[in-house]
Amino acid sequence: MVLLIDNYDSFTYNLYQYIGKYEKNIKVVRNDEITIEEIEDLNPDHIVISPGPKSPKEAGICIEVIKHFHDKIPILGICLGHQCIGAAFGAEITYAKQLVHGKASKIFHKGIGVFSGIENPMQGARYHSLAVRLDTIPDCFEIAAMTEDEEVMSIIHKEYPLIGLQFHPESIYTPDGIKIIKKFLEKERVIC
């Protein structure tokens, strides 16, 4: 089962449809309508944290979910979800170098993890005013993708299946987005 945490965003059900191509058992919950204990009871195989209109501090339970489950369950954070991953590990969230809403950018990646086999550079849809500040990202993360002007577009934890994407794989402006979602869903739970 995939748990999709909705940060009150219009893209949540685009994500739901992409995930649904590979996994039929999906539960969508709002970021302020579930507890850690309820998530443990659901026992999801994957957690996806959606985009949203606010900052990580205003993303309900998301940071707590990342801190609690990052070493147990594969987690994918998209846009605000990506920023929540950075914030959960102490990175600073600042205004992006450019405020970008509804535009595609060239994204240069390292070909690792969910980017394996993806065209490089790839095209990615961006809808964000905030970003994870590059020089504050902890060493436990690989900076997996960036724009030409060095805005961080993806971080991947070096030890656990924890992936942040600043761009939107669920957007039509990200042609390889469905492949990235599929690669994430192929990740297995950490055996404890």
Q: What are the tokens at 12? A: 């949540």
Q: What are the tokens at 23? A: 């996994």
**3-state secondary structure at position 100:** strand
pLDDT given at position 184: 98
* Residue 192 pLDDT class (50, 70, 90 cuts): very low
In sequence order, the β-bridge partners of residue 145 are 109, 154
Share of the chain above pLDDT 70, in %: 98
Q: What is the pLDDT of residues 124-156, one digit of tens each?
A: 999 999 999 999 999 999 999 999 999 999 999
Domain 2-185: what homologous superfamily? Answer: Class I glutamine amidotransferase (GATase) domain (3.40.50.880)
Q: Cα(30)–Cα(163) distance, rounded to whole angstroms?
A: 20
DSSP state of 189: P
Q: What is the pLDDT of residues 148-190, one digit of tens each?
A: 999 999 999 999 999 999 999 999 999 999 999 999 999 876 5
With a CB cutoff of 8 Å and minimum separation 6, the contacts of 189 are: 45, 72, 73, 74
> How much is the mean pLDDT over the chain?
96
DSSP state of 73: S
Count Cβ atoms within 10 A of the Cβ of residue 45 and give its class: 0-12 exposed, 13-18 middle, 19 or more buried.
middle
Q: Which residues are catalytic?
A: 79, 168, 170
With a CB cutoff of 8 Å and minimum separation 6, the contacts of 77 are: 48, 49, 62, 66, 83, 84, 85, 163, 164, 165
Q: Cα(132)–Cα(3) distance, rounded to whole angstroms?
A: 24
- CA 127 vs. chain centroid, Å, equals 13
